[in-house]
């Protein structure tokens, strides 16, 4: 009986222990089930995100805008590259067009030249490649195409197409072995016409006058006719008058310009008159005695031919109006063509001095500086 109770007690104790063990196991299992799950990499899984439709729409819009920002930045970069590429393309295209134009012009010029050279006889419009024949056309026949040999043509004359009128004035100096005189009044007029663009010819008239003192008059003072010469002790004034007619030609160094420098040469005819300003006649008689000398009506008229060299320039202000500046050198050639004396030098010693001065001035070097107007028709 006691043995059965003891066995029963052990059985109950064993059953109680088993129940306790099973309850602990169940408690531990529940504890593990209630813990946070672990992902395969050993990390704790994040808590589930709470969201709704509106929040998801906002998140979607943010993603779109971030994407658009990246795309637009890339577009900006590409547009900048496209702009630079377009500018470069424009430059290259412009250069290509110019090269193509020059190439076409060269080809057209070459074709025209070949056409002109192969033409039989002279062809209109081929002056650049084959000059127009003056008389006959020389044709050289070979295996190559027919070529017209160029023949020089005379320059076209434009004589009379324009007429210039040039009034002028200036200063003139007479330089001889014994004299150096300045002219008081110098004036003239020229009329000229062009032959071509570089040559012109013309005719001119020049008038010159001056006064100088006859210092040699005092050499004839003597007691016999001193009463007459006392008033002319310093010498009487001599008047010089000259008219010059000339023909000339000019060569212009440039054809058409505002300034047209030129060289010129001419041949002239001079008519000169010399006399004393005081022409009161008197004789050398004194105290009723006549000594055979007369004074007061002395005069010399002479003619000679001269050559003239010119250096000057025209200055055009408008098409038909301008100015002219010129340096001129003139000298007589040969002796006087003719001479008229107002008195016999034996009867009037002053007459001899006029003749000597006239001859010296006729062979003097005459230098003039002229300035004038230019009117072209």
Residue pLDDT, tens place only, 114-172: 888 777 766 777 777 666 555 555 555 555 555 555 555 555 556 777 899 999 999 99
**pLDDT tens across the length of the chain (377 residues):** 555 556 666 766 777 676 566 555 555 555 555 555 555 555 555 666 788 999 999 999 999 999 999 999 999 999 999 999 999 999 999 999 999 999 998 898 888 888 887 777 667 777 776 665 555 555 555 555 555 555 555 555 567 778 999 999 999 999 988 888 998 889 999 999 999 989 999 999 999 999 988 766 544 444 444 444 444 455 678 999 999 999 999 999 998 788 999 999 999 999 999 988 876 555 555 555 555 555 667 889 999 999 999 999 999 999 899 999 999 999 998 777 878 887 776 667 678 888 888 888 888 999 999 999 999 98
Burial of residue 316 (CB within 10 Å: 0-12, 13-18, 19+) is middle
Tell me how far apart the alpha carbons of residues 174 and 171 are, in angstroms, rounded to a whole number: 10
Locate 147 and state its tokens. 């070529």
Tell me how far apart the alpha carbons of residues 173 and 182 are, in angstroms, rounded to a whole number: 5
DSSP 214: -
Q: Which three-class secondary structure state does DSSP give residue 9?
A: helix
Long-range pairs for 319-325: beta carbons < 8 A, 24 or more residues apart? 319/376, 320/375, 320/376, 320/377, 321/373, 321/374, 321/375, 321/376, 322/373, 322/374, 322/376, 323/371, 323/372, 323/373, 323/374, 324/166, 324/168, 324/370, 324/371, 324/372, 324/373, 324/374, 325/370, 325/371
């Amino acid at each position: 009986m006691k043995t059965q109770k003891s066995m029963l007690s052990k059985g109950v104790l064993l059953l109680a222990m088993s129940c306790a063990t099973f309850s602990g196991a169940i408690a531990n299992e529940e504890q593990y089930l209630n813990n946070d799950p672990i992902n395969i990499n050993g990390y704790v899984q994040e808590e589930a995100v709470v969201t709704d439709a509106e929040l998801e729409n906002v998140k979607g819009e943010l993603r779109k805008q971030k994407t658009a920002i990246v795309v637009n930045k890339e577009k900006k970069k590409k547009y900048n590259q496209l702009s630079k590429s377009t500018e470069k393309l424009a430059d290259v295209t412009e250069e290509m067009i110019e090269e193509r134009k020059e190439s076409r012009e060269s080809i057209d010029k070459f074709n025209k030249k070949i056409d002109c050279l192969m033409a039989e006889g002279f062809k209109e419009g081929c002056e650049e490649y084959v000059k127009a024949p003056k008389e006959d056309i020389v044709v050289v026949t070979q295996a190559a195409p027919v070529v017209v040999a160029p023949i020089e043509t005379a320059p076209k004359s434009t004589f009379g197409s324009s007429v210039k009128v040039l009034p002028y004035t200036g200063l003139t100096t007479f330089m001889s072995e014994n004299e150096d005189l300045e002219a008081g009044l110098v004036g003239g007029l020229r009329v000229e016409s062009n032959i071509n663009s570089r040559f012109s010819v013309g005719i001119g008239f020049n008038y010159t006058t001056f006064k100088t003192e006859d210092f040699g008059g005092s050499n004839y003072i003597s007691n016999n006719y001193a009463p007459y010469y006392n008033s002319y002790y310093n010498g009487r004034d001599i008047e010089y008058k000259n008219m010059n007619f000339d023909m000339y030609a000019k060569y212009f160094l440039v054809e058409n310009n505002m300034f047209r420098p030129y060289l010129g040469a001419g041949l002239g005819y001079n008519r000169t008159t010399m006399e004393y300003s005081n022409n009161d006649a008197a004789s050398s008689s004194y105290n009723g005695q006549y000594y055979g000398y007369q004074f007061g009506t002395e005069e010399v008229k002479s003619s000679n031919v001269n050559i003239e060299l010119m250096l000057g320039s025209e200055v055009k202000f408008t098409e038909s109006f301008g100015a002219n500046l010129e340096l001129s050198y003139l000298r007589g050639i040969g002796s006087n063509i003719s001479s008229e004396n107002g008195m016999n030098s034996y009867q009037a010693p002053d007459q001899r001095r006029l003749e000597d001065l006239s001859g010296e001035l006729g062979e003097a070097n005459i230098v003039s500086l002229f300035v004038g107007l230019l009117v072209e028709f």
